[in-house]
Structure formats: structure tokens, C-alpha cells
């Protein structure tokens, strides 16, 4: 039985076109700025997001950390949501490595931060307080169900932050999902941001890599911070080659993942005691088990034995993520496997 893995879109495998491109990539030493394939990927990424320059890094966690280190000095303060990936799942790197203070404010269910909360989080100019330097947005928002931040909302945050003399960084790990969901050019979501990063190894299906994008001056300093963190790679074009294929071939097809997520959510919504947390905005389905005889660990274990994997993300909550390599037929099979599994658990068989 072939396993259908819905734990994350990080489990994607590179396409045949990516594998060929990686095998045939023209290479050089990227630390010397001499890898032509990396240089080309950085040019393409910057042009796509509407920035002057870009920097190829090994991971999304490093991308966020490099950007934040470039914006902030030791003792400065970063304003971000209490559900932000950077705050919850990146090892406290901004504090551990950068001595930067995270100031969390509530994420609303749609992934946004209230403008009044951002304004209220800014510190007065006083020797007792850290300096407020940076606001971080996440688009799409993982913990908020893959929610999409709109062009209008991001514009409002940019205007407010810049009026308050703050920079804005967008953790855009899945920002192409947001653009596809909104039917807009990704540059509309990043316009006037001081930096933005996006991930190649999630919905875009590459084996490794993220890009940090910003002004030429910002990226020059970010390159130094990448080196500090050990992210300076040598013949990295063997990885960047897959990214170039992704930029050409993997963005538009994200709509398939969104359609499959909706198909999955509709099916699971008819299987009490499962409760789907609203229609998915992009490629993530969050569902809860209503209190009763069904134990979350039992559900995950039994579904794994039936060839379907997904994540238990706390309490009675689960996440299922559609991605490249998961077809509509696979979603139908997932739903077929769920029905008897739920019934078995309900009856104690």
C-alpha cells in the first residue's frame, strides 16, 4: 500500500525535471559569488517578488533569522504574532543567536495582527525599554489554518509600520500559495516590505532552500549574516537548479493543492466526531475531534496503518496538508480510509 503523506508540504519529492536540472547544473563557488545557477535563481526570485536582490539560503528558519539579524541589533525588539512560526517553531533563534527580544501580540483567526495592537506594542523612547525595530507578518499563516493575508491588509501594515519608523519582514514561506489563492501577482503582496522570504521546499517541491529578498544594501548585509550562521554553501547551484524549475513550473499548479484541500475538508466535514475548522484558504486542513471515546493518538495510529499520515498538533487538533504528489484520487482514498477508521474508534472495535 502506497503511503499518502499529508503531514506537511515539506515531504514533497523533486520532479523529474528538477532532478535533470540538478544533474546538469552549471556550478561554481557561491561564497565567492561564482555559482552561475545560484546567481540566476537569486535574480529570478528578486524579479518575481519585485525587490532589488535576493539571497539563497539552506532553510526557511535560516531565512527568517538572517533577515531579522539584518534588521535588528542586540537588545532590539521584534513585534510578531503569538502564533507566528518564527516565535513557536524556530528554536528561539532570534533570542539565542541575535539577543533580539520578541514582543508577541495576538494573531486573529485570519492570521492578521490588529493594527491597534501593532501600534500599542511600539515602545516609547525611554532607556528602560528595548527599541522597537521590526514587525513580522506571516503569509500564508500556518497556525491559523493556512490563512491568506490580503494585499489591502499588508499595505495597511506597511503604512503604519513605516509611519512608526519600523521595518516590516514577511515570512512568506508559502506566499505563492497566498498569491494563487488571491489571484494576484506575488509582487502585490510584497510591495514596500523591507524584506521577504519564501520557501522552495514546501509547496514548490524542491529538496532544499529558501530565498531572502530585499534591497541590494539589505542583501549585502544579509549575506554576511548567512556566513555567520554557517549558511555559506559552495557549489550550491546543484540545489538552486531545482529552484529555477520550481519558479517556472510549480507556482501555477498550487491551485491543484488548494482544490484538493477543499475536497478533503468537505469530505471530513461529514464525519462526526471530526469537526473541520472552516473551509481551507489554501492547502491546509485543520480538524478537531469533538470530545468522546475517540483518542487522538488512536486516530493517527490507525490511519497510519491504513496508509494515511497526518499530524496531531495538540489537544484534539490535527493538520492535513495537500501538496505536489498528492492527487484528487489520493484524497478520495483518504476519505474512504477515514470512514471505517472513525467507526471502529467510535464503537471500540
| Tens digit of each residue's pLDDT (9 = 90 or more) over 253-294 | 999 999 999 999 999 999 988 899 989 999 999 999 886 667
The residues spanned by each domain of the chain are 12-249, 253-347
Q: How many CB atoms lie within 10 A of CB 262?
A: 18
What pLDDT, on the 0 to 100 scale, is given for residue 298? 87
Q: With cut-offs at 50, 70 and 90, classify the pLDDT of residue 199.
A: very high
What pLDDT, on the 0 to 100 scale, is given for residue 44? 98
Distances (CA, A) of 144 to 84, 97, 268, 281: 9, 27, 19, 10
Check if the beta carbon of residue 324 is closer than 8 Å to that of residue 334: no
What pLDDT, on the 0 to 100 scale, is given for residue 341? 86
Interacting residues of 191 by C-beta distance below 8 A, sequence separation 6+: 50, 155, 158
Cα–Cα distance for residue pair 170/137, rounded to 1 Å: 5
Range with the poorest average pLDDT among 134-143, 149-158, 211-220, 297-306: 297-306
Cα–Cα distance for residue pair 81/114, rounded to 1 Å: 10
Cα–Cα distance for residue pair 330/251, rounded to 1 Å: 21
In the predicted model, is pLDDT for residue 190 greater than 90? yes
Work out the average pLDDT over 30-52: 97
User: What is the residue-averaged pLDDT of the chain?
Assistant: 96
Q: What's the pTM value of the predicted model, to 2 decimals? A: 0.95
Cα–Cα distance for residue pair 7/286, rounded to 1 Å: 11
Whole-number CA gyration radius for the chain:
21
What pLDDT, on the 0 to 100 scale, is given for residue 107? 98
Work out the average pLDDT over 33-44: 98
Work out the average pLDDT over 24-31: 97
Work out the average pLDDT over 108-132: 97
**Region 12-249: CATH code:** 3.40.640.10
Alpha carbon 319 to its chain's center: 14
Cα–Cα distance for residue pair 48/93, rounded to 1 Å: 28
Q: With cut-offs at 50, 70 and 90, classify the pLDDT of residue 57.
A: very high
Class (C level, CATH) for 253-347? alpha beta
Torsion of CA 155, 244, 205, 83, to 10 degrees: -30
- Per-residue DSSP letters for 79-121? EEETT-HHHHSSTTHHHHTT--EEEEEPBPTTS-B-HHHHHHH
Q: How many CB atoms lie within 10 A of CB 16?
A: 8
What pLDDT, on the 0 to 100 scale, is given for residue 348? 65
Tell me: the pLDDT tens digits for 122-150? Answer: 999 999 999 999 999 999 999 999 999 99
Helix, strand, coil tally for the chain in percent (to 5): 45, 15, 40
Tell me: the pLDDT tens digits for 73-106? Answer: 999 999 999 999 999 999 999 999 999 999 999 9
What pLDDT, on the 0 to 100 scale, is given for residue 296? 84
Tell me: the pLDDT tens digits for 322-341? Answer: 999 999 999 999 999 999 88
Q: What percent of the chain lies above the pLDDT cut of 70? A: 98
Alpha carbon 17 to its chain's center: 24
Q: With cut-offs at 50, 70 and 90, classify the pLDDT of residue 349.
A: low
Amino acid at each position: 500500500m502506497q503511503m499518502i503523506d499529508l503531514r506537511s508540504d515539506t515531504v514533497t519529492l523533486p520532479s523529474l525535471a528538477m532532478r535533470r536540472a540538478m544533474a546538469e547544473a552549471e556550478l561554481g563557488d557561491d561564497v565567492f559569488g561564482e555559482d552561475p545557477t545560484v546567481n540566476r535563481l537569486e535574480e529570478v526570485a528578486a524579479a518575481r517578488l519585485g525587490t532589488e536582490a535576493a539571497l539563497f539560503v539552506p532553510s526557511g528558519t535560516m531565512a527568517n533569522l538572517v533577515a531579522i539579524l539584518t534588521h535588528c541589533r542586540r537588545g532590539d525588539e521584534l513585534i510578531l504574532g503569538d502564533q507566528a512560526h518564527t516565535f513557536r517553531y524556530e528554536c528561539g533563534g532570534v533570542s539565542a543567536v541575535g539577543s533580539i527580544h520578541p514582543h508577541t501580540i495576538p494573531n486573529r483567526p485570519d492570521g492578521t495582527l490588529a493594527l491597534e495592537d501593532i501600534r500599542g506594542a511600539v515602545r516609547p523612547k525611554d532607556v528602560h525599554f528595548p527599541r522597537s525595530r521590526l514587525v513580522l507578518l506571516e503569509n500564508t499563516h500556518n497556525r491559523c489554518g493556512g490563512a491568506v493575508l490580503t494585499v489591502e491588509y499588508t499595505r495597511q501594515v506597511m503604512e503604519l509600520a513605516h509611519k512608526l519608523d519600523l521595518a516590516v519582514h514577511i515570512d512568506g514561506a508559502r506566499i505563492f500559495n497566498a498569491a494563487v489563492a488571491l489571484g494576484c501577482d506575488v509582487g502585490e503582496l510584497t510591495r514596500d516590505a523591507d524584506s521577504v522570504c519564501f520557501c522552495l521546499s514546501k509547496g514548490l517541491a524542491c529538496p532544499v532552500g529558501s530565498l531572502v529578498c530585499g534591497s541590494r544594501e539589505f542583501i549585502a548585509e544579509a549575506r554576511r549574516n548567512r556566513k555567520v550562521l554557517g549558511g555559506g554553501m559552495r557549489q550550491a547551484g546543484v540545489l538552486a537548479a531545482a529552484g529555477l524549475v520550481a519558479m517556472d513550473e510549480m507556482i501555477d499548479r498550487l491551485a491543484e493543492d488548494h482544490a484538493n484541500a477543499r475536497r478533503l475538508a468537505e469530505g471530513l466535514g461529514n464525519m462526526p466526531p471530526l469537526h473541520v475548522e472552516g473551509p481551507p484558504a489554501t492547502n491546509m486542513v485543520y480538524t478537531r475531534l469533538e470530545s468522546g471515546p475517540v483518542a487522538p493518538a488512536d486516530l493517527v495510529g490507525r490511519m497510519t496503518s491504513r496508509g494515511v499520515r497526518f499530524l496531531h498538533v495538540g489537544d484534539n487538533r490535527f493538520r492535513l496538508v495537500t501538496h505536489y504528489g498528492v492527487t484528487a484520487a489520493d484524497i478520495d482514498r483518504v476519505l474512504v480510509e477515514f470512514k471505517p477508521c472513525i467507526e471502529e474508534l467510535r464503537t471500540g472495535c
